[in-house]
A and B are shown apart, each in its own frame.
Chain A
């Protein structure tokens, strides 16, 4: 009918938009699955790049130490301060040491270290590999019969999974020292009382559980960083987008997986 608005377009538009998004999501999931399967297939052959693994260990581990040191110190400190504040007048302050150590070993140490190191490392992986992608360096690698996933992603994955638990051990120690310092200097608990509190309910399984989590976080950080790097397209802007996506994806994945790991690690592997 003349003059009548085309109703079908308006009606169909939302379905088109939703359909497009669904197709995009399915395509992305497929690409990610292909990447993961290739990464797994190249894992053992890629272990021979020991020099590259060592370099990445140094980048992830040693170069992350200053930022890990600073954040862990303050995380431990604020844990002690807040615990003392919540407990003052209601519970004996011996529990400050218990709460600080438990929360650091189980949650704060592994998760916050993974978030801090993850932001630094996954962005760096995505930017480096993404730049190689958009400047045809990855294509050049292929033409030399060098497998880019084996050469670039496997050493990063191996290094991240080795180094995350190592950094977490260091971060845990510094956080405990930070908590101890704040408890003694600001809250006014004696060092002896804080130590007794830490030992009161100490369970080595808390530490092991936290380290299992950090191992998985290491995998998440490396996989997300490398995946988005390989996906980069379209010059500097594409590298920027890839880097942002890698950081957001690894942080979100760390927090989501933290819940599921808590279910698996502390309910199935180390039940209370």
Chain B
């Protein structure tokens, strides 16, 4: 279980997270929704210890991520896989080396065992036989799949997805969503998916939450979100240009948005 308690994070004068509280239950897929720049990716980086919060705590299975030593954090990270927005594959390595890096670093498996696990994970994401290709030879969708294979290589308990469908065509995005559900069913992992893609959120999420103005504004099932009467939730769920979420925008943009709607 992952518990986020009163998380605050600022970058200079910009206060991104202002007291985030959220519980992610074991075995569920929680989708974190929100507009661009609201701190969704920051939330994931805080959970895996790539950033430190200014205030608050992140408890993963009873361990406070902030208080762990570098070595203990490394041990915890072996139980958390992360798929980055642009996949973040290592350019200089082959697909097999990318997927097997974490296993090689652990030094508990032989080369043959690692090769077998790599092949197995690549098969799980539907990419058998591409072990010797370099990331530059892969399409965007394939890179995401390899990133996912790398994230699940060490059989993690948790998988964090940072914008898994961003930059993909609708068909590939749909395939990635199916893959996320598939991995969830096969591996019984707990997942956190950060996205602003509503289709993806409804498809993969057991529960959704909406990050707005540095807080978790809403938590509920996809149905709850679709039927919510709350103006903020409704604006996001319907993708409307005007509403309480955009009140902070300067006048010309709001006028432009109103004009678009009028047309």
Q: Which residues of A approach B to under 8 Å, CB–CB?
A: 128, 131-132, 135-137, 139-147, 151
Q: Check A146/B101 contact, CB under 8 A, given A139-B45, A139-B50, A140-B82.
A: yes
Contact status A144-B50, CB under 8 Å = no
Closest 4 pairs between A and B when the two form their complex, measured CB to CB: A144-B102, A140-B88, A136-B88, A145-B74
Q: Which residue of B lies closest to A55 (CB)?
A: B92
Nearest CB of B to A179, in Å? 40
User: Are A140 and B105 neighbours in the complex by a CB distance under 8 Å?
Assistant: no
Bound CA span A145–B70, Å? 10
Q: Bound complex: CA of A169 vs CA of B77, how far in Å?
A: 45
Q: Interface centre among A132, A137, A144, by most B CB within 10 Å? A: A144
B240 within 8 A of A: no
Q: Which B63-122 residues have a C-beta within 8 angstroms of A?
A: 70, 74-75, 77-78, 80-82, 84-86, 88-92, 101-102, 105-106
Provide the bound-state CA to CA distance between A141 and B81, in Å: 11
Query: Does A144 lie within 8 Å of B88, measured CB to CB?
Result: no
Contacts of A131 in B (CB 8 A): 91
Interface assignment of B150: CB less than 8 Å from any CB of chain A: yes
> With A144-B77, A145-B75, A145-B78 given, is the CB distance from A139 to B84 under 8 Å?
yes
Q: Do B45 and A144 touch (CB < 8 A)?
A: no
Is the Cβ of B86 less than 8 Å from the Cβ of A136?
Answer: yes
User: Bound state CA distance, A135 and B70, in angstroms?
Assistant: 23
Residues B105 and A144 in contact, CB atoms below 8 Å apart:
yes
Task: List residues of chain B with CB under 8 Å of any chain A CB.
Answer: 45, 48-50, 70, 74-75, 77-78, 80-82, 84-86, 88-92, 101-102, 105-106, 150-151, 154
Bound Cα distance A151, B92 (Å): 13
Chain A contacts for B92, CB-based, 8 A: 128
Specify the main secondary structure of chain A where it touches its partner.
Answer: helix
Q: 26 A-B contacts, Cβ less than 8 Å apart? A: A128-B92, A132-B90, A135-B86, A135-B88, A136-B84, A136-B85, A136-B86, A137-B89, A137-B91, A139-B50, A139-B88, A140-B82, A141-B90, A142-B48, A142-B50, A142-B77, A143-B48, A143-B50, A144-B77, A145-B74, A145-B77, A145-B78, A145-B106, A146-B105, A147-B74, A151-B105
Q: Within the assembled complex, what's the spacing in Å between the Cα atoms of A143 and B83?
A: 10
* Contact A144 B150, CB 8 Å, known A139-B45, A139-B50: yes
Q: How far, in whole Å, are A139 and B51 apart by their CA atoms in the complex?
A: 10
Complex Cα gap A132–B89 (Å): 9
Residues from chain B with Cβ under 8 Å of A128 in the complex: 92
Which residues of A sit under 8 angstroms from B90, Cβ to Cβ? 132, 137, 140-141
A167 shortest CB reach to chain B, Å: 23
Query: Given A135-B86, A136-B86, A143–B91 Cβ distance below 8 Å?
Result: no
Q: Which B residues touch A132, using CB under 8 A? A: 90-91
Q: Could you tell me if A145 and B86 are in contact, using CB atoms closer than 8 angstroms?
A: no
* New contact pairs (14) apart from A139-B88, A142-B48, A151-B105, CB-CB < 8 Å: A136-B85, A140-B84, A140-B89, A140-B90, A141-B90, A141-B101, A144-B102, A145-B74, A145-B75, A145-B77, A145-B78, A145-B105, A146-B101, A146-B105
A31 smallest CB distance to B (angstroms): 16
A145 adjacent to B84 (CB under 8 Å): no
Distance from B98 Cβ to chain A, minimum over Cβ atoms (Å): 9
**Chain B residues within 8 Å of A146, by CB:** 101-102, 105
Residues of B within 8 A of A144 (CB): 77, 101-102, 105, 150, 154
B86 / chain A contacts, CB cutoff of 8 Å: 135-136
A131–B90 Cα gap in the complex (Å)?
A: 10
Find the B residue at minimum CB distance from A41: B70
CA A151 to CA B70, docked complex, whole Å: 15
Q: How far is the CB of A37 from chain B (nearest CB, A)?
A: 13
A146 to B102, CA, bound (A): 7
Q: Which residue of B lies closest to A48 (CB)?
A: B107
Cα(A139)–Cα(B80), bound, Å = 13
Complex: A108 Cα to B85 Cα, angstroms: 49
A128, B90: Cα distance in complex, Å = 11
Q: A143: nearest residue on chain B (CB-CB)?
A: B82
**A35–B102 alpha-carbon span in the complex (Å):** 23
Chain A residues with CB under 8 A of B78: 145
Q: How far is the CB of B134 from chain A (nearest CB, A)?
A: 14
With a cutoff of 8 Å between Cβ atoms, the chain A residues found around residue B81 in the complex are 143
For B101, list chain A residues within 8 Å (CB). 141, 144, 146
Q: Are A145 and B88 CB-contacts (below 8 A) given A139-B45, A140-B82?
A: no
Which residue of B49, B70, B77, B88 is within 8 Å of A137 (Cβ)? B88
The docked-state distance in angstroms from the alpha carbon of A272 to that of B222 is 83
Question: Considering the chains assembled together, what is the distance between the CA atoms of A137 and B147 in angstroms?
Answer: 11
| In the complex, chain B residues whose CB is within 8 Å of the CB of A139 | 45, 50, 84, 88
- With a cutoff of 8 Å between Cβ atoms, the chain A residues found around residue B48 in the complex are 142-143
Contacts of B102 in A (CB 8 A): 144-146
Q: Beyond A137-B88, A137-B90, is A143–B80 a contact (Cβ under 8 Å)?
A: yes
